[in-house]
Amino acid sequence: MYKSSNLGYPRIGEKREWKRALERYWKGDCSEEELLQETKNLRLKNLQKQKLQGIDLIPVGDFSFYDHVLDTATMFGQVPSRFAYNGGKVPLQTYFQIARGNTTAVAAAMKKWFNTNYHYIVPELGERKPTLTENRPLFFYREAKEALGIEGKPVLLGPLTFIKLAKGYEEDKLEETVASYLPLYAQILKELEAEGVKWIQIDEPYLVTDVTPREWQITQQIYHTLQEAAPKLKVILQTYFDAVTDYETIISLPVAGIGLDFVHDDGQHLASIQQYGFPEDKILAAGIIDGRNVWRTNLEEKWGLLAKIQKAVGSENIIIQPSSSLLHVPVTVKEEQIDPIVKVALSFADEKLQEISTLTEGVRKGKAAIQAQIDQSVEAISKLNASSARNNQILHEELNRASDKPERSENVTIRQQAQQGAFSLPILPTTTIGSFPQTKEVRKERLRWRKGEITNEEYETFIQAEIKKWIEIQEDLGLDVFVHGEFERTDMVEYFGEKLAGFQFTTYGWVQSYGSRCVKPPIIYGDVAYVKPMTVKETVYAQSLTTKPVKGMLTGPITILNWSFVRDDISRAEVAKQIAFSLKKEVEELERNDIRMIQVDEPAIREGLPLKKERWKPYLDTAVYSFKLATTSVEKETQIHTHMCYSNFEDIIDAIDALDVDVISIETSRSHGEFIQTFAKKTYDKGIGLGVYDIHSPRVPTKEEITQNIEHALGVLDPHLFWINPDCGLKTRNEEETIGALEVMVEAAKETREKLVVKNL
């Protein structure tokens, strides 16, 4: 029995219809009923596309209005007490308030979904007894069957992963917490079984992390309980993003199928099957098509992998599928107008479904039936590998001469003295992270410029007017260190990719980042090389308007790497080195133009951390080396800043220290300053700004809230090293919200500064 399957499909639509519908609803431009109908139409269209592609097991319930982890939490009635909720099905308005906050309540925390670029809303457990408010998988199963005649495969986030991603429970009570949810999971499965559902996909990606023996025991208890609850329901226990930590245990669980990632497992799953075999009474759901990158599959290589899997499994009980949900890639390549050599080597969600169907046809009918498609895939990839874009010999020679151990010429103490002499900043200096609101007018003028409706000179005049306006606003607010606002930038990675060699950009290559926030990751298809200055003109202009220091703003090498779709013919470490070498040239160009504060943002370092600790060191060594290669050639008076967000920073505090950055700003507002406790244990002798308010919520914080956050931080941090800033860039906020929040922030900083002065008299 060979079947094709998918694990999840992009929610956003080919032209981001989902995003636009959500934002119209949030603005009050459409009713809830209109939102529900629009998203239903899109959802059914996505299901129909998968059906037409010949996918046998089509996922249902993978759709979300915001986030699938939040969906799971609200399905179990886990609404934080600060939101008005009295039981029953959670209203859509309340659902969105948990994710976005409201005028009186802060939003729930947001974190990265494992090591991807997607964010999930962190469930807050413990305030309410779990209860089943609705059976979402059943609803979506019925919808697909009634509307399209599709016998769908419901998707459900598994109990262990759901709870391990949450907060509000004590780790020593993990088993007890899991037990409180098991009856609800059992009820969901019973109702699905009674409905006649044949297959269900239960996602447990946590099982590819460093799972403890105790957690494996709990996993065994979970799936024995669920099997007893719905014995006729075929459960596929699905993992992805890496290899499972205990292969022998997972194949012993009482489920019908095991889903394994054969792309990002470093070959471990095939080796485990060859060594330990695979149960004859189970189905192997083999994730052999990369669900996280955009490159066309070499079908010859995958045919060879399938042959090895078939031989090791010893049966035809194999499902062919992507390595993970296709949530992480754009929808389709078909309408992209890009270099043909690159385009033919790309594969987005729809094309990956075709690859799955092709391989499934091959194992059913024989290789000859798909030989033409195999040959086409090999030829497309070979042409790209042979292109001049991937063979820049001048760059390769320059990189061979780059330092193996880049370091600043002076230690941090000497640099701090030199920089204070240069800038004369007050204690608790105030600044922002970099971007200011990207208004409709800004986006409109950029679009007109891209379409050729206005000249380069007209566009530059407009950008300079925006910069001037916000320099004046920063002067009025009383900030100590300014930024130019980044009005010329669509995205912090895309902007740099457009100015470096080796990047390709798409028109419709959007993916969901968080909520309705979609990003269009650049595609690194060739050698990355510096072409010309990228940020100097705008930064120098901004600095000419004020005597306050203006930060040069760059995106760091690891963030560009992690927020791009990266070529897979060379190592990621080599690509990072290429990017860092280009940024080094830009940093030096800024310094030559008297920009003496330069911020190189690395918000994505933590998210790229391998899921197993045994692989952390090589990755972090690459991250530290790349950052230093980009930043350490400057003079001691030049102050290097960086920014990081959405991370469990305590995991990488030593690497953060090793970056040897002069000032780091870190997002901590949504985590309520939990990271601050790390500094109670770890001495950090460089400048640091812990975001004092959450920019992802539209509400303007109170002065008391910000003051409390500042004082909390000063309980463990040296006030002479502490900076006051928002927790992230302000691009997504409107002008009124931005100015209002910054006014409060500056006022809170000044009052705290005065208290410190009085205290030290």
DSSP 319-331: EEEESS-GGGS-S
Please state, in angstroms and rounded to a whole number, the distance separating the CA atoms of residues 634 and 586: 11
C-alpha closest to that of 297 among 369, 259, 353, 368: 353
Task: Describe the crossing of helices 572-592 and 616-631 by its angle, rounded to 10 degrees.
Answer: 20
CA quadruple 43, 48, 49, 55: dihedral positive or negative?
Answer: positive
645 is in an annotated binding site: yes
Torsion, CA 162, CA 166, CA 168, CA 174, rounded to 10: 50
Candidate list 119, 328, 641, 696, residue with the active-site label: 696
Longest C-alpha distance within the chain, in Å? 86
Query: For 286, what's the count of Cα atoms within 13 Å in the CB-facing half-sphere?
Result: 29
C-alpha closest to that of 480 among 752, 737, 725: 725
391 is in an annotated binding site: no
Phi, psi of 417 (to 5 degrees): -65, -45
pLDDT in tens, 279-291: 999 999 999 999 9
Torsion, CA 13, CA 16, CA 20, CA 23, rounded to 10: 100
Residue at token pair 């003079």:
635
C-alpha closest to that of 650 among 624, 676, 616: 676
Contact call for residues 224 and 251 (beta carbons, < 8 A): no
Q: What is the pLDDT of residue 458?
A: 96
CB contact burial 682-696 (16+ within 10 A = b; e otherwise): eebebbbbbbbbbbb
Strand partners, 722: 688
Task: Describe the crossing of helices 299-313 and 268-276 by its angle, rounded to 10 degrees.
Answer: 30
117 is in an annotated binding site: yes
Sheet holding 318-322, edge to edge: 2-4, 318-322, 283-289, 257-261, 234-238, 199-203, 153-157, 59-60
pLDDT in tens, 40-95: 999 999 999 999 999 999 999 999 999 999 999 999 999 999 998 999 999 999 99
Contact call for residues 144 and 63 (beta carbons, < 8 A): no
C-alpha closest to that of 433 among 742, 133, 177: 742
Phi, psi of 203 (to 5 degrees): -85, 125
Domain 429-759: assigned CATH number: 3.20.20.210
Query: For 114, what's the count of Cα atoms within 13 Å in the CB-facing half-sphere?
Result: 22
Please state, in angstroms and rounded to a whole number, the distance separating the CA atoms of residues 95 and 101: 10
Q: What is the pLDDT of residue 353?
A: 98
Joined together, the tokens standing for residue 711 give 């004082």
C-alpha closest to that of 433 among 109, 105, 741, 750: 741
- Strands (DSSP E) contained in 572-638 are 597-601
What's the gap between Cα 280 and its chain centre? 38
What's the gap between Cα 6 and its chain centre? 21
Q: How big is the CA angle at 558 (ends 554 and 508), to the nearest 5 degrees? A: 80
654 is in an annotated binding site: no
Please state, in angstroms and rounded to a whole number, the distance separating the CA atoms of residues 191 and 135: 8
Q: In angstroms, what is the C-alpha Rg of the chain?
A: 26
Please state, in angstroms and rounded to a whole number, the distance separating the CA atoms of residues 669 and 726: 9
Low-confidence ranges of the chain (pLDDT < 50): 672
Instruction: Say which CATH architecture domain 2-293+319-327 belongs to.
Output: Alpha-Beta Barrel (3.20)
Phi-psi region of 196 (alpha: psi -120 to 50; beta: other; left: phi over 0): left
Instruction: Say how many residues make up the chain.
Output: 761
Contact call for residues 647 and 602 (beta carbons, < 8 A): no
User: Cβ contacts of residue 312 below 8 Å, gap of 6+?
Assistant: 270, 273, 274, 277, 278
Enumerate long-range contacts of 408-416, CB under 8 Å, 24 or more apart. 408/632, 408/634, 408/636, 408/660, 409/636, 410/636, 412/660, 412/662, 412/685, 412/686, 413/685, 414/636, 415/636, 415/639, 415/662, 416/662, 416/687
517 is in an annotated binding site: yes
Contact call for residues 378 and 298 (beta carbons, < 8 A): yes
Please state, in angstroms and rounded to a whole number, the distance separating the CA atoms of residues 322 and 263: 9
Contact call for residues 489 and 449 (beta carbons, < 8 A): no
β-pairing, 597-601 vs 565-566, is unpaired
Please state, in angstroms and rounded to a whole number, the distance separating the CA atoms of residues 693 and 709: 8
30 is in an annotated binding site: no
Please state, in angstroms and rounded to a whole number, the distance separating the CA atoms of residues 230 and 219: 17
429-759 has the same fold as 2-293+319-327: yes
433 is in an annotated binding site: yes
Q: Is 696 a catalytic residue?
A: yes
Contact call for residues 570 and 524 (beta carbons, < 8 A): no
Please state, in angstroms and rounded to a whole number, the distance separating the CA atoms of residues 677 and 674: 6
Q: What is the pLDDT of residue 674?
A: 59
Angstrom CA distances, 290 to 7, 88, 324, 331, 679, stand at: 12, 39, 7, 14, 39
Angstrom CA distances, 315 to 268, 279, 323, 441, stand at: 20, 10, 21, 61
What's the gap between Cα 736 and its chain centre? 28
Angstrom CA distances, 614 to 135, 354, 609, 618, 655, stand at: 39, 36, 11, 9, 15
SS3 call for 59: strand
Every domain of the chain and the residues it spans: 2-293+319-327, 429-759
195 is in an annotated binding site: no
Alpha helix (H) residue ranges in 203-329: 213-229, 247-250, 268-276, 299-313
